[in-house]
Amino acid sequence: MMDQGIWILVGTAVFLGFFHTLIGPDHYLPFIAMAKARQWPLKKTLLIAFFSGLGHVLSSVVLGFIGLALGIAVSKLELAESWRGNAAAWLFIGFGFAYLVWGLHRAIKNKPHRHLHFHADGETHEHLHQHESDHVHVHERKEKANITPWVLFTIFVFGPCEPLIPLVMYPAARHSIPGVILVASTFAVATIATMLIIIALSSWGLRFVKLGPLERYAHALAGAAILLSGLAVQFLGL
């Protein structure tokens, strides 16, 4: 039977999972931005976010169990988590910057321009279009496969859950291993659930936001959002 101390840690795990996700824009902003730019359906966005969040939490859980099994001091694990946090932040910064540049290049290349069309009956007409937007003279094309979801997943696996090991797992280990599993699982559920709720609500709200002429800059804006979230994590400690 679990003692009262474990249930206090379970409550702490719920709070930490919720709060550390809420104040960390890197937990949800990249998915919201990419979903808007690439026009992902909500189901796909949440699926990508779920597996990324799962990898994010499990990487710290595995490290915590290794530390417990080998008797590694929590201070050493905190150093490892700090290194992982820096790596993940710089990966977000690099990916965001690269995607921003690519998005700007795409937007410039896709600048609206006019075409003059001649018909067999001698009639001519002119219309404005973009190479990568739909119009009556362009056949429908399937969206090209992209590696963006895998990039997000990989960066998230690098990213640590800083409060999990020192504030939840190691204290729970003083009680029992089942207690460690319980608090780690609770932390994971709270973290991933918070991610999915924020992403779902934000994506729903963005459905009503029309970019208009800025639509062709959607990818550049997504890259800028990811870049800023990485900078916020690295230099503001969010």
Greater model confidence, 175 or 130: 175
User: 115 — phi, psi (to 5°)?
Assistant: -125, 140
Per-domain residue ranges for the chain?
Answer: 4-108+145-236
Q: What's residue 1's pLDDT?
A: 56
Q: What's residue 90's pLDDT?
A: 94
pLDDT digits (tens, 9 = 90+) for 163-213: 898 888 999 888 888 999 999 999 999 999 999 999 999 999 888 877 777
What gap in Å lies between CA 194 and CA 227, rounded to an integer? 22
- Whether the CB-CB separation of 219 and 105 falls below 8 Å is answered with no
- Whether the CB-CB separation of 128 and 112 falls below 8 Å is answered with yes
DSSP result, 20-59: HHHT-GGGTHHHHHHHHHHT--HHHHHHHHHHHHHHHHHH
- With tokens 């090209």, the residue in question is 144
Q: In sequence order, what E strands does 39-198 have?
A: 113-118, 124-129
pLDDT digits (tens, 9 = 90+) for 1-24: 567 888 999 999 999 999 999 998
Q: What's residue 117's pLDDT?
A: 53
pLDDT above 90 for 109: no
Q: What's residue 139's pLDDT?
A: 38
Radius of gyration of the chain (CA): 23
Angle at 168 between CA 165 and CA 17, to 5 degrees: 90
pLDDT above 70 for 132: no
What gap in Å lies between CA 220 and CA 168, rounded to an integer? 39
What gap in Å lies between CA 91 and CA 93, rounded to an integer? 5
Q: What pLDDT band is residue 140 in, cutting at 50, 70 and 90?
A: very low
90-104, 131-145, 155-169 — which is least confidently predicted? 131-145
What gap in Å lies between CA 37 and CA 144, rounded to an integer? 14
